[in-house]
Amino acid sequence: MRNHRVLLSLTLAAFLLLAVSPGIAQSPYLPVGSVSIDMTSLSAGVGASWGTGVLRFGGKSHPFRIEGLSVGSVGLSSISAVGNVYNMTSVNQFAGNYAALGAGVTLAGGVAGLKMQNQSGVIINLYATQQGVQLNIGPQGFNVTMR
């Protein structure tokens, strides 16, 4: 009876360990493309932002427009950002409304970034190329349209 209890306890502990381990059994997404964005932001209370970018996917460059991503500053500012694209099989999946996935991330040297996903499941990890610049997404997310 005692051996049965020990075995049951070990089985339960192993199950709980697997249940709370974040993504150990899941394979990570591999980058399938990259993006570069040049953007202008006008911020004074409620801000407006617009810009252009290039998606590099499948050996080709695909231009796009972006609206809604804001820069953590006041006044008129410009920013450049780069990133990797994940979980995409067709360029048609790239356009759409993106929302943040969790909190922002910081790389070595203080470069801030965002992880975002659209309605098609495409994920972008975007990083400002200027040190000390904070990227933000409004509550509505941001919109990408192909040109």
Domain spans, the chain = 30-146
In angstroms, what CA-CA distances link 16 with 5, 13, 86? Answer: 16, 5, 30
Strand duo 69-71 + 112-117: pairing: unpaired
Q: Are 96 and 122 in contact (CB under 8 A)?
A: yes
What pLDDT tens digit does each residue of the chain (147 aa) get? 555 554 444 444 444 444 443 433 344 689 999 999 998 877 665 567 788 999 999 999 999 999 875 555 556 677 788 999 999 999 999 999 998 886 555 555 555 678 889 999 999 998 877 655 556 555 457 899 999
Name the pairing type of β-strands 48-57 and 75-86. Answer: unpaired
The pLDDT of residue 100: 81
Contact at 8 Å (CB) between 136 and 81?
Answer: no
* pTM for this prediction: 0.70
